[in-house]
Structure 1
Amino acid sequence: MRLAEVRIDAVDVGIAAQAVVQALPLPQTLAAPPRRAGALAGVVEHGGVPVPVVDLARWVGTGARQDGRETRILVLRDGDRTLGLRVSAVSGLVDVAPEGITRLHHDDDADEVFHSVARSPETGRVLSVLDVGRLATLACAWSGPAASAPATEPPPAARDTRTYALLDAGTVRLGVPAGALAEVIPMPARIPIGDGAWCTWHGRHLAIVPPAALDPGLTAEQCNLLAVLERDGLALGVPVRATLRLADFMPAVTVYDDDGAEVRLVDVAALFAARPEAALSRHAHGAAPATGGADAGRPNDAAYVVFEADDLVATPLAGLECVLPLAGAPGATMRWGDRALPVVDLRRPGHAPADDGQVLVARAGVHRVACVVARVHLIIPAGGGRMYRLGAGAFIMTGDGRARASYRTVDLGTYC
């Protein structure tokens, strides 16, 4: 028998895995109709349907309550009846042989929800096995087709289950909506920009999400694959270690796979909103968006990299070969592959320490030059700013209102 091993305050509990629908984080408030008695602690929404939540501590002694930050709601199902159970923690799934489950109470008392125990082969803890059917009956509180939808309609879980691609991203698994996953490819050559990187994908610039943004313990060296996600014509690269399989889940922040592993479901819309560099992929290399009126300046038809030299300056991304860390104080030349490149130090005079900075390898035709800068700040994607001239200088402006910023533009290829 496969059991979900959970803890309710100080009590270790086992619940038949087929009765467990999902684990949800505990909301800040649990609204509920006022009741004189019973164990109803509140209501959560699951699949667009209100689900009552039972707190066993209101019926039986469960020991000292744990830190509320650990508390979750376990959504359970018994036939057509769905209800929630407050738990302190979810440990995962364990397989217990039928002879490993021992019935201790034989009185068949309808007011009791525990009558058997099992020892977890993983942790060695003695689990009190929950009778989910009795719990629903005793609570007299559940949601189901009779209360929320005509009997001829599928239950909410069947309607709202979605297919996700499971990806190994280090200490957690990522669940990516199958429709948003364009492809998974071997990790291509990456060009670092600031704390991120980008690569070329089907003729487009593709920003790569830093691995640590997904899992603090994950590094770029551990990822040999790149999952490419698409949304509204834009694309982002997500570093992963392996592809696993397809699985169906109810949409939530965190769910659990069949083997008990935690799966973090990716909100693709939120991911793209949090990574504006996805706009790098809007146009194929060399393509230009429509221009606006002359008074407002024209949209930039190519991506720009903003870096700190003696000031904040922007240069076309297409003119850069790569971005490298500065290894030691710069000399007159720098070894790059099998070539010795001339070095131009663009930092303020007396920059300290002398070996602190980054190197932009710029190109002009067949020529290359190593430009030393203090650091790279950001990327302005194509269409992300507006170009204008002021006197003899060319500038790119981003943002609006108080967030507006302007940067002088330079072509580093002129140093070649």
Structure 2
Amino acid sequence: MAEAGRERVLVVALDGEGLRVALPAELVRGLAPVPALTRVPGAPACLVGLAESRGTALPVLDLARLLAPASVRETPRPALQGRMVVAEADGPVGLLVAGIVGLKADPGGAAILDLPGLIAGRLARRPGGDADAAASRSHAVPPRAVPDSAPDVAFLALTAAGRSYALPLDAVEAVTRRPESVAPASDARAVPLGTMSWRGRALPLVDLAARLGLAGGAGTRVAVLRGLGLVAERVGPVLRVRPEAIDPVPRTLRRAGPAAGLAAGFLRRDDGTLVCLLSPQALAGAAEPARAAPFAAGTEPIVVVDLAGNAYGLPAGAVRRVERAPDALVRVPRAPDGLAGMLAVRGGTLPVLDLRRHPGVPPGIGSRRLVVVEAGGARAGLLVDGAARLVRPETAAIRPAPHGAAGEFAEGLGAALTRVADLPGGPLPLIDPAALLRRAAFAGRSVA
């Protein structure tokens, strides 16, 4: 629409009562239906979320709320059902409006907006934003400039108030269950849930939903960061994202103070959705993790899975995703033992192995999970009974599996149980995905 001329304006309706404003046509880049939105933690109410648009994260604002008095502007309202105008204001933004009146030479009495100035003024950094933004810089996502061969980046998914977020996997020490009772906190403002005992120290607990300003009670899972326990409804799975699908915080959004501090960037998923990447330091707030030392180089992240009541470990670096087991698989005639079937995925098919079908593994009950692993250029799904924990044993605590591990742990998995991690709760046999997939000649080659 920019070619329509600088003297022309796009007139839009803000509500159903005839209130109209005009946007300079040279700032308008296009029109679109109201998209699916990803909420930004700590953002002002006029910034309703972000949308995936042509491979970037697009900030989307409610134009009527943007123009409202401050007392009204900060009060959330139901999502607007209308149209979105994509415009330029120090970077592309989406503007939600009730309707499009048309492109005109005469605004007909509608006020012509100085959109860049309006957004700059309304999203000026608020008190407290500088501290949060400074705390997040070490995990801020820089502009994309990565080689084509760069490996996928790992993140840990979290759910708070029914919404999805993510943390850098290397910032998470472990995932555990929240205890039924916690010790009272010395400073309830900084640590609203109290503390729990963790490896000989008192670990402050913070409710993720409350820290993000969302309604909803504390969850039952705890992601242990450096000196902080983050309580969420659900923690996991591990997300693998291409480097080029990681977006920095948009320039327009950086003015919003705390929003820029809590959000370190955004992940674009293959299904077109966005996941907000959180800054561990900014989440900690007044707690102490910013002073803690990084993880020692001698630790290894392990995803713990449950199989017929027994725990096994998979290297987190080989786990591509964890999801609910599919309702149905395509059966393969005369399939080798352990092959449950094939699953259609983007770009091909995925062989699915049922580890319960291996000799020596008793049948189990309960809802099942699908763990997708990749090793040696092959990829397969593993049906297990649960996958909800992340541990980081020291490499010194990981030893070769003893001779006869097949009889000690599970007969059919013995050849793939190459190592054992000695944890406080007992030995954890570790499955070597490469060895497991080598045995499965039907394992598929890696697919996107």
Under a length normalisation based on structure 1, what TM-score does the superposition of the two structures give?
Answer: 0.37
The higher relative CO (CA closer than 8 Å, separation ≥ 6) is in 2
Higher strand share: 1
Under a length normalisation based on structure 2, what TM-score does the superposition of the two structures give?
Answer: 0.35
Q: Which has the larger radius of gyration?
A: 1
Higher helix share: 2
